[in-house]
Amino acid sequence: MLFSSIPGLEETKSRLIQAVKNNHLAHALLFHGPEGAPNLTMALALATFLNCENPEPEDACGKCASCQKMGKLIHPDLNFCFPVPGAANEAEKEGAGKKTDVLSSWRDFVLSSPYSNVHDWIYHNGFEKKQLNISKGAARSIIQALSLKSFEGGFKIVLIWNPEYLNIAAANTLLKILEEPPEKTLFFMVCSQPEQLLTTILSRTQKVLIRAFTDQEIKDHIVEGGLCTAQAADQIAPLADGNLREAYRLIEQVVDENTAKFRDWMRNCFGLEIVQIIADADGFQAKDKEGQKALLLTGLNVLRESLLKRSQLDQLMRTPASDRMFVSDFALKAMTETKLFDLYQLLNEAHYHLERNANAKILFTDLSFSIAKVLRRKEEVLNPQN
Q: What is the CATH number of the domain that holds 198?
A: 3.40.50.300
CA–CA separation, 162 vs 86, rounded Å? 16
Residue 179 and residue 98 in one domain: yes
Residue 10 and residue 67 in one domain: yes
Alpha-helical runs (H) found in the chain: 10-21, 39-51, 65-71, 86-94, 96-112, 118-125, 136-146, 168-179, 199-202, 215-224, 230-240, 244-251, 255-270, 274-286, 289-310, 321-329, 337-355, 360-375
* pLDDT score of 381: 54
CA angle (247 as vertex; 241, 253 as ends), nearest 5 = 125
Please report whether residue 205 resides in a domain: yes
**Which residues, listed in sequence order, are joined to residue 186 by a DSSP beta bridge?**
157
* pLDDT score of 274: 92
CA–CA separation, 334 vs 340, rounded Å? 10
* pLDDT score of 254: 46
Please report whether residue 382 resides in a domain: no
CA–CA separation, 292 vs 314, rounded Å? 28
CB 325 within 8 A of CB 260: no
Tally of structural domains, the chain: 2
Please report whether residue 44 resides in a domain: yes
Residue 258 and residue 204 in one domain: no
Domain residues for the domain of 178 are: 3-209
* pLDDT score of 42: 95
> Residue 360 sits in a domain of what CATH number?
1.20.272
CA–CA separation, 273 vs 276, rounded Å? 5
* pLDDT score of 82: 92
Please report whether residue 230 resides in a domain: no
* pLDDT score of 385: 57
Each of the 386 residues of the chain gets a pLDDT tens digit; together they read 899 999 989 999 999 999 999 888 888 999 999 988 999 999 999 999 999 999 999 999 989 999 999 999 999 999 999 998 875 554 444 444 455 588 889 899 999 889 988 888 888 887 866 788 888 888 898 888 888 877 877 889 999 999 988 888 888 888 888 888 888 889 999 998 888 888 888 888 999 999 999 989 999 999 888 888 888 888 788 878 889 988 887 776 545 567 788 889 999 999 999 999 999 899 888 887 777 887 888 888 888 888 888 888 877 776 666 667 878 888 777 788 889 999 999 999 999 898 888 888 999 999 999 999 998 888 665 555 55
* pLDDT score of 322: 64
* pLDDT score of 318: 67
Distances in whole angstroms, Cα of residue 192 to Cα of each of 99, 123, 142, 260: 25, 19, 22, 34
Residue 50 and residue 169 in one domain: yes
Alpha-helical runs (H) found in 25-85: 39-51, 65-71
Please report whether residue 220 resides in a domain: no
Residue 173 and residue 280 in one domain: no
